[in-house]
Amino acid sequence: MLSNFKNHIGKHVAISDEQFEAIVPYFEVLDVKKKAHLQNPGQAHLYNYFVLDGCLRMYTLHEKGQELTCDFALESWWICDQKAYIGKQESNCAIQAVENSRILRISRDQELLLLQEQAFIQSYFLQVYQKAYAAAQFRNKLFKLHSKEEIFIQFNNNFPDFVQRVPQYLIASYLGLTPEYLSEIRKKMFS
């Protein structure tokens, strides 16, 4: 299963078997059951998570107690509350398994050590963060330019597998819609 991680790195930088073996000890492998929490709101000592298999989501609680999904991560995506993670602060976000998942995690201290001791990996992380920033900036623009209904239609056209795979109430929580309203939009789309 770790081969997924090596392949992902290999898409960004050349990596030999020896180099991969040298970086593995900085990470921990975890198996998590569907709905289990990897991080709870108010937690310090955060980790950055890489999905080997499965799906994670990050959410925060609205003052009315409602869960608002901020991000999803499928295979080969990283997920964390970046501001709290790099600042070593408490996070007000939770990270939960959407499916039974196998993941890698790394603490900020281990990450800094890894970047220092295995400098070749800097280029991999730089490319990962450039893409993550691009995706976050694109999402910001999307939410500014379009209605939630339009965003769901785009979502559905661009990522049909994702929409099939993730429970509808979580997609509703990501778009800030009620599950009932999302269900109405779907009925209209497929009628």
Asked if 135 touches a copy of itself (CB under 8 A), the answer is yes
Q: Which two tokens stand for residue 153?
A: 């239609």
Q: How far is the CB of 7 from a copy of itself (least distance, A)?
A: 21
- Which one of the spans 23-31, 32-40, 125-133, 152-160 is the region binding a copy of itself (CB under 8 A)? 125-133
Q: How far is the CB of 74 from a copy of itself (least distance, A)?
A: 17
Measured from the CB atom, is 87 or 167 closer to a copy of itself? 87
Asked if 45 touches a copy of itself (CB under 8 A), the answer is no
Closest CA to 58 of 31, 85, 89, 88: 85
Asked if 105 touches a copy of itself (CB under 8 A), the answer is no
Q: How far is the CB of 60 from a copy of itself (least distance, A)?
A: 6
- Which one of the spans 24-32, 67-75, 159-167, 181-189 is the region binding a copy of itself (CB under 8 A)? 67-75
Asked if 33 touches a copy of itself (CB under 8 A), the answer is no
> What residues make contact with a copy of itself under the rule CB under 8 A?
60, 62, 68, 70-71, 81-83, 85-87, 93, 115, 119, 122-123, 125-126, 129-141, 143-145, 176
